[in-house]
Amino acid sequence: MTARRISKYAAGFLFGMALLAGSSPNWAADPKVETKWDTRRTAHPEDLDELRALEARVKAVVDKCSPATVAITIGFGAGSGVIVSEDGLVLTAAHVIAGEPKFDLKGGGTGYEPNKECTIILQDGKKVKAKTLGINDKMDSGMVKILEKGPNDGKWPFIPLAKSAELKPGQWVVSLGHPGGPKTGRAPVARLGQMEAPDKHRLHTAGGFIVSNCTLVGGDSGGPLYDLDGKVIGIHSRIGLSLATNVHVPTDKFVIDWDKLVAGEVIGRQPKPPTAVVGVVFAEDENDDAYVVEVDEDGPAAKAGLKPGDTITKFNTEVIKSVKKFRDMIKDKKPGDTVKLAVRRGTEILALSVTLGKRGA
């Protein structure tokens, strides 16, 4: 496993097993008997023969899966991913291709749009063009499509998905990714670990994620978690409370959203509702009367006839005795709603109808 590493936990354990085996003649393996590792096993190796069997199984997974494990660069960011179809669909984490949630100045939208250009970096360092597809922001799942033809008669090497619901606590797994970002001449880095049960009674967290002790760092996000049959069981999402507690999006969640992700839809992130505005500036003290200091000359208030120096005394039927009260009333309204304001101007009380506008419009 040159140019690759396993986690400190797993390395220490395997090294300790090797020392123990070397010091005890009772642990000697029969060279004529080939031990095979049960890919669903949850227990640790018990002798040198089993240790070698686990090592051989991990090497087989890494050799099989590395060609489909990729790096993704978009803008100034980088993450990892895995090719899961011969036509070049790549699974990754939503935050790798979308960044943090963003809302526009008008109060709506998610800040993420599909079909953005990105670059896929293959195991041998070759770069190919790709585009972003859909995301589920709540689950941190995302999808990318390679735009170029694959090396095998136009097809891409890919790894099939396993059913994450069939995972068992303690099952041995392999993480691949690009910690610290892709590096020239370095293959995807492998780490060995086991699935964990967050509350010791179930494998999944409350949010439906799965947890392993495969060490992850920045740059691994979006990379694949494999079972020892060499199938994808999860995508790296984030580090837990320690480097040995790491959270992954289970493949079953991708399957549920598959058609929407391929279609470039945004799932899970709720757009921020537009904010209704009147178009006035009040005095700074929210406990003062709703005295109008300024009026936006192009805003709803000006169109309705409000002027600087007016004091708003009623909002529909509610008496307004402070700026805070006025703001409490308007926050439940939507752009386009019409409200009736009672306004004191000198010794006069005026009745004005204002059609609320939208912030930023």
> Running DSSP on this structure, what letter comes out for residue 66?
G
Q: Quote the CA–CA distance of 44 and 328 in Å, as a whole number.
A: 61
pLDDT score for 197: 62
Q: What are the pLDDT digits (tens) for 242-252? A: 777 889 999 99
Question: In which band, very low, low, confident or very high, does the pLDDT at 173 lie, cut at 50, 70 and 90?
Answer: very high
Mean pLDDT lowest among 114-123, 166-175, 220-229, 272-281:
272-281
Residues 276 and 261: beta-carbon distance below 8 Å: no
Which has the higher per-residue pLDDT, 141 or 20? 141
What is residue 111's predicted lDDT score, i.e. its pLDDT? 61
Under 8 Å between Cβ of 274 and 358: yes
pLDDT digits (tens, 9 = 90+) for 249-273: 999 999 999 999 999 999 876 555 6
Higher local confidence (pLDDT), 12 or 210:
210
55 or 34: which carries more pLDDT confidence? 55
Q: Rounded to an integer, what distance in angstroms lies between the CA atom of residue 208 and that of residue 254?
A: 12
Q: Supply the pLDDT for residue 352.
A: 94
Query: What is the pairing mode between strands 117-121 and 127-136?
Result: antiparallel
**Over residues 306-328, mean pLDDT:** 93
Virtual torsion, Cα 176, 180, 185, 187, nearest 10 deg: 0
* Matching residue, tokens 């109808």: 353
Per the CB < 8 A criterion, the answer to whether 172 and 159 are in contact is no
* Domain 276-358 grouped into CATH 2.40.128.50: no
Tell whether the model's pLDDT for residue 33 goes beyond 60. no
Residues of the chain with pLDDT > 90, as a percent, come to 63
Confidence of residue 112 (pLDDT cuts 50, 70, 90): confident
pLDDT reading at 23 higher than 70: no
Four-point Cα dihedral 81, 85, 86, 88, nearest 10: -40
The strand pair at 266-267 and 127-136 is best described as parallel
Rounded Cα distance between 186 and 219, Å, is 13
The whole-model pTM stands at 0.66
| pLDDT at res. 199 | 52
Q: Which CATH number fits domain 1-270: 3.30.70.940, 1.10.287.610, 3.30.1330.50, 2.40.10.120?
A: 2.40.10.120
pLDDT of residue 25: 38
CA angle, 334 then 337 then 339, to 5°: 120
Over 50: is that where the pLDDT of 144 sits? yes
Provide CATH 2.40.10.120 ranges for the chain. Answer: 1-270
Give the separation between CA 293 and CA 358, rounded to whole angstroms.
20
> Quick one: which of 100, 102, 98 has its CA closest to 116?
98
The position carrying tokens 């506008």 is 357
Domain limits, CATH 2.30.42.10, in the chain: 276-358
* Residue 194, pLDDT above cutoff 60: yes
The three-state secondary structure class of 257 is helix
Q: Which amino acid is at 19?
A: L
pLDDT tens, residue by residue, 95-104: 999 865 443 3
pLDDT computed for residue 18 by the predictor: 36
Contact 31, 52 (CB under 8 A): no
The span from the CA of 108 to the CA of 179, in Å, is 35
CA-to-CA distance for 156 and 40, rounded, in angstroms?
28
Above 50 in pLDDT, residue 175?
A: yes
In this structure, are residues 78 and 72 in contact, taking their beta carbons and an 8 Å threshold?
Answer: yes
Q: What does 17-40 look like in DSSP terms, one character per residue? A: HHHHHHT-GGG---TTS-----TT
Closest listed residue to residue 328, CA positions, set 348, 343, 312: 312
Torsion of CA 200, 253, 8, 123, to 10 degrees: 170
Asked whether the beta carbons of 128 and 147 are under 8 A apart, the reply is yes
Looking at every residue in the chain, the average pLDDT score rounds to 84
